[in-house]
Structure 1
Amino acid sequence: MTDVASAEATIHKASGKPLNLRWALVLISIAQLMVVLDASIANIALPFIGADLDIDQANLTWIVTGYALAFGGLLLLGGRLGDLYGRRKVFMIGLSIFAVASLLGGLAQNEALLLSARGLQGLGAALASPAALALITTTFPAGPTRNRAFAVYAAMSGAGAAVGLILGGWLTGTSPDILGVTIDGWRLTFLINVPIGLFAAALAPRFLNESESHPGELDIPGAITGTLGLLGLVYGFSRAGEAAHGWDDPWTIASLVAGAVLLAAFAFIESRVKHPLLPVRVFANRTRATSFLVMMVVPAAMFAMFYFLSLFIQLVMGYSPLHAGFAFLPFSVGIVIGAGLSSNLVNRIDARYIAGVGTLMAAASLVGFSRISVPDSADGILSAMQSGSLGDGVNYWSSIFPFIVLMSIGMGAVFVPLTLTAVHHLRSEDSGIGSGVLNTMQQVGGALGLAILSTVALSAASDKKSELASAFTQQGLPKDQVGQLAYLGSFTNGATAAFLVGAGLITLGSLATWLFLNVKHEELATDGPEDVPVHVG
C-alpha cells in the first residue's frame, strides 16, 4: 500500500481531520477489557450473590454460564452485523446494551432479573467484541502502528481474566455508603461497567470512523442455525465439564448432538445463499485457518490453567479470594510485556517463529504446574491440615510464580502475531465476521478445553479420592470430614493431570504453528485482501 493509503486510514471521515489514534485505541481497549473481565469478575462474588438473592447452588452457576452462552453463541452474528450495518454503530450499540444490562444486574432484586441481565450482557459483548477487533483493522494503518494496537488488544484480552479476579475480590469485599444507601459489594462488580461503557459509546463517533453498510444482506437462516448451533455446543461443553453432569448426561449429549446438527445445516445453507453469514473464503487462506485453529487450542489450555490453579491456590494453599486474585497479578504484567515484545518483533521476524516459541513457553509452563506436589497419604494430609493447610509445603515464589510469568509472556507472544495473521488480508467487508470467527474460536475452545480437562481431572482424582475416603473412614473420622479431606487430598492429582494434558494440547497447537503458519513478516506491513490486487492510480 502507498503512504497515501496509510494516511487515509487515519483521517476522520466526518470532520476530515486526522484521527487521534491513541484515544481510538483507549476506547477499543476499554471495551475489550470490560468484555473479558466480566467473564471472571462475578465468579468471586457468587457466594455473596447466592446468599443475598437466595439463589440455590445449581442456578448460581448460570450467572457464569448464561453470560458465556450468550457471548459465545452470538459472536458470529455480532461480527456479521458490524460488516453489514456499520462497525462503529454496532460497537456503540453493543457497549450501550452491555452498560444497561450491567445496571439491571447491579440493581437486581431477584434471580430472574439477574440471570436475564447476564444474558443481555453476553449479547452486548457479542456485538462489541468483534466490532472492536475489526475497528483496529480498519482504523490503524498496516505495519508497526497496527501491530502495537493489536499488542494492546491482546494484552487486554489475556489480562482481563486476572484483572477480573482481583477487581472482583476487591469490590466484593467493600460495602460503600452512597447517598445514605449501603451498596452490597457484589453489586459493584456490575455497576462499575455502567459509566465506563456509556462513556466509551458516547466518544466512539469522535474517535472512530464508520464502515460502509450493506443492509438487506443479512443471512437470516444462517444466523438462526449458526447461533443455535453454537449455543448448543457451548452449553454442551460447559455442562460436560461440570462434575454433577459430565459427558454421559442426557442433556449434555442432546445439546452437543443438536449443536452439531444445526452447524451442519448452517454449513449447507452457507454454501447455497448469495450473501452468507460466514463466507467460505474466510477459511480459504491456510495461514488464516491455522491461526483460527491455534487460537482455539491455546486459550483452551490457558482458561483451564486459570480454573484449576485458582482452585488450587484457594482450596489447597488456603488463600482468600482477594489474595488469590493478586497471586495472578504477575500474569497481567507478563502478558503486557510479552505482547509489547512480540508487537516489535513481528515487524522483523515471521509470525511462525514468535508464536511457535510462545506456544512452547506456555506448554513448558503447564508442565511446571503439573509438578506441584502435596501430601497424598491419609496420615500426611491429616498432619498437614493440623499444622495449617494442605499446601503449606508449596512455595508460591518457586512453584507457581515462575510458571505464571512464563505462561503470560508466552501467551503475549502467541496472541499478537496470531491475531494479526487471523485478520490479515481479509476483504474489508469480511473484517467483522473474521473477528467474530476468531472470538468464537476462543470461546468454543475455552468451553471445550475446560470440559476435556475437567474430565481428565475427575478421572485422575477418582481412584485417589476413593482410596483416601476408605483410609479416613478406617481412622474413625466423621462422614462429612471424610468427604472434604478426600476431595482436597485428591484434587491436586486431578489438577496436575489436567495441566499435563493441557501442555499436550498446546504442543499440538505449536506443531500446527510451525508447520502451517507461513506468512512472512513483510506481508503483515501491507493492507488489502490477498486475492484482490491493489492499484494505485
Structure 2
Amino acid sequence: MPERQEIASHQDHSKTSPLRNGDDSGIDSAQTADDEYIYIADGYNLIRRIIFIATVCSSMFTNQMGLCNSLTTLEIIGDYFGVTEPGKLSWAISGYGLTLGTFVLIGGRLGDEFGNKAIFVIGMGWLALNSMMAGVSVYASYPVYILARVLQGLGPALTVPNALAIMGKCFSQGPRNMGFAWFAASAPVGAMAGLLFGPLFAMAWWPWIYWSQALGVAFLFVLSIMVIPNVPDEGEEKQRRTIRDTLDRLDLLGGASGVIALILFNFAWNQSLVTTWDEPYVYVCLILSVLFLAAFFYIELRVARYPILPVAILTSDIAFVFGCTAAGWSTFGIWLFYVIRICLNIGGQTPIQLAAWLSPIVITGILTAVVVGKIITKVPASSIMLFAMLCYFLTSLLMALRPVHSTYWTYFFFGTIIATFAMDSSLPAATIIFSNAVPRQYQGMGSSVIMTIVVYSISLGLGFAGTIELQINNGGHTKADLLYGYRGTLWFSVGLTAFGSVLALVFLLKDLRRQKLANNQKEEGTDNSTGA
C-alpha cells in the first residue's frame, strides 16, 4: 500500500513538457516538479535496496559478459566452423556491438513510452533466448552463429538505457549518483566474468559459453519482474492517447532513418574487413549511410513532433562529451581486442592465463566507480573527463609500446589498472551530465544517448582498426606481419585518445572560464547591493 501511494504521487507530479526543437521549457518544469517528486527506492530498506540495485545493474553486467565471453574464444569457435579469416572472426564481436549501439536509443524511447520496467524485462528475455540460439548454432553453421550474436546485442540495447532510466526515476540525486557509480562498476565485473567463464566452458564444449549465459539471464528475467517496481509516467495522459499520438511520440520516421544510417555505416567498415573496399556494395552502403544520416537530422529538426534526439540537449558542452566519450571507448574496444590477439597469437598466452592477467580490473573498477560516485557532485565533471581521457591515452601508449614477451608486472599490469580508471570515471560523469540535462520522463532517452556513443564507438572503432590492420600487415602470413598490423591499430588508438585528451582539456578550460565569469558577476551583484 505505501508503494502504491508513492506511485500515485509520482503520476500526479511528473507531467512535464516534451523536449522540442530548441525548447528548454521541459527542463525548467522538470526541475520545478523535482521538489514535489517522491522517489520510490529512497524508502527501501538496505536489503531491498541492494537487491534492487543489483538487479538493475545486471543489465551492464550481462552486456559486458556477452561481449567478453567471446573475446578469448574466437579462435576456438572459428576452428570448429572452419573459419580462420580475422575479418570474419571479428564479426562475432562487432556484430554484437553493431545492434547494441544502433538500437540503444530506440530502446530508451520505447521505455519512455511503454514503461522502463516492461522494456527491461523484454530485453532480458530476448537476451536469454538468443544466447540459447548462439549455443544451438553449433548444429548449424557459422552464419547462424553470427546471426545469433547480432541478435544478442538487441537484449542489452533494451535493458541498459532502461536500467539507467529506472535508476534515475527511483532514486533522488545523492543515491542516484551512487547507483550510476555501481552501474559503471558492474561493467568490469561482467567483463571479468566473461573473460573467465568463456574459456572455462569452452574447455568442456564451447556452446556452453552461451547456454550458461542463457540460464543466468533467464534467472535475471524472473528476478527483474519481481524486484523492479512499476514507475509509470504521465499515467492519465497515456490512457487518453490515440494510436496516432503514440506513433508520433515514438518518432518512427526519425528512428528508422537513424537506425538505417548507423547500421549501414558500421556494416560498411566491418564488412570491408571481409571483402575489402574493392567491392562496390561496400561503398554504396557507406554513401547511403551518410544520406540517411542527413535525413535523420532533417526529420529531427523539421518534421518530428517528439524527436527521438531533441535538439535542446545538443549544447556545446555535450558535444565535447560526445567527442571524448567516442574517442575513449572506441580505443577501449581496440585495446581489448588487439591486446588479446597479440597475447594469444604472438605471445603464446592461454585464455585462462589472460583472464588471470585481466583480473585486477574487478578491484580497481569497483573502487574507481565508488570514488567517482562520492566526488561527482564536488568535482567538476570536466575535470573527471580530462582525467579519464589522460588515462585512456596512457593505457593506449603502454600497450602500443609493450614488448610481446615483457614481464606481466610492467606494461600489461599498469595498463590494465589505468584502463579501469578511464572506463569507470568517464561513464558515470557522462551519464550524470545527461541525466541532469533532460526531463525525468526522458531519462531513458538521455541515458541511451551516451550509451549509444559508448557501445557504437566500440564496434565502429574495431572496424576502423581492422581496416588499418589489413592495409599494413602484408597479408598476415607470418607472426611478424601479424604483430606489425596489431601494433598499427594500437598506435591508431593512441592518436584517438590524444585527440580526446585535447578535447577534454578545451572543455575544462571552457568550464573554468564560465565559472570565473559567474563568480565575477556574483561579486559585482554583491557589491552593488552593498552600495545601495
TM bin (shorter chain): 0.7 to 0.9
Higher relative helix content: 2
Instruction: State the match for 1:363 in structure 2.
Output: 393
**More off after superposition, 209-218 vs 294-303:** 209-218
Within-5 A mapping of 1:302-381: 302-373=332-403
CA drift at 1:24: 1.5
Aligned-partner Cα distance in 2 for 1:496–1:75: 27
Picking from 223, 238, 242, the partner of 1:203 is 223
Aligned-partner Cα distance in 2 for 1:265–1:342: 39
- Deviations along 1:307-352, whole A, 9 cap, x unmatched? 2211222223210122123222223332222212211121322222
- Deviations along 1:267-313, whole A, 9 cap, x unmatched? 11222121222222232x44334333322221011111112211222
Picking from 62, 83, 102, the partner of 2:112 is 83
Q: Which secondary structure does the structure 1 equivalent of 2:308 belong to?
A: coil
In 2 relative to 1, CA 54–449 (structure 1 residues): closer, same or farther, beyond 3 Å? closer
Instruction: State the match for 2:461 in structure 1.
Output: 449
Aligned-partner Cα distance in 2 for 1:496–1:113: 31
Structure 1 unmatched ranges of 5 or more: 176-183, 374-390, 467-481, 521-537
- Deviations along 1:204-235, whole A, 9 cap, x unmatched? 24432333265442222122211111111221
Query: Does 1:231 pair with 2:263?
Result: yes
Identity of aligned residues (%): 22
Instruction: State the match for 1:503 in structure 2.
Output: 497
Aligned-partner Cα distance in 2 for 1:66–1:496: 21
CA drift at 1:34: 0.7
Aligned-partner Cα distance in 2 for 1:50–1:106: 14
Instruction: State the match for 1:433 in structure 2.
Output: 445
Instruction: State the match for 1:257 in structure 2.
Output: 287
Query: Does 1:413 pair with 2:425?
Result: yes
In 2 relative to 1, CA 294–223 (structure 1 residues): closer, same or farther, beyond 3 Å? same
Aligned-partner Cα distance in 2 for 1:348–1:423: 17
How many pairs align? 467
Query: Does 1:126 pair with 2:161?
Result: no
- Deviations along 1:345-367, whole A, 9 cap, x unmatched? 21322222222222212212222
In 2 relative to 1, CA 496–18 (structure 1 residues): closer, same or farther, beyond 3 Å? closer
Aligned-partner Cα distance in 2 for 1:11–1:50: 46
Structure 2 unmatched ranges of 5 or more: 1-30, 239-245, 516-532
Aligned-partner Cα distance in 2 for 1:517–1:196: 44
TM-score (norm 2): 0.79
Picking from 143, 162, 166, the partner of 1:135 is 166
Asked if structure 1 preserves the Cα contact closer than 8 Å seen for 2:97 and 2:456, the reply is: no
Kindly report structure 1 stretches of 4+ aligned residues shifted beyond 6 Å.
Answer: 1-4, 16-19
Asked if structure 2 preserves the Cα contact closer than 8 Å seen for 1:359 and 1:410, the reply is: yes
In 2 relative to 1, CA 489–99 (structure 1 residues): closer, same or farther, beyond 3 Å? closer
In 2 relative to 1, CA 454–26 (structure 1 residues): closer, same or farther, beyond 3 Å? same
Aligned-partner Cα distance in 2 for 1:286–1:264: 20
2:215 maps to amino acid: P
Instruction: State the match for 1:38 in structure 2.
Output: 66
Query: Does 1:97 pair with 2:126?
Result: yes
Asked if structure 2 preserves the Cα contact closer than 8 Å seen for 1:31 and 1:200, the reply is: no
CA drift at 1:503: 3.5
Instruction: State the match for 2:328 in structure 1.
Output: 298
1:118 maps to amino acid: R
In 2 relative to 1, CA 91–493 (structure 1 residues): closer, same or farther, beyond 3 Å? closer
- Deviations along 1:252-280, whole A, 9 cap, x unmatched? 32222211111211111222121222222
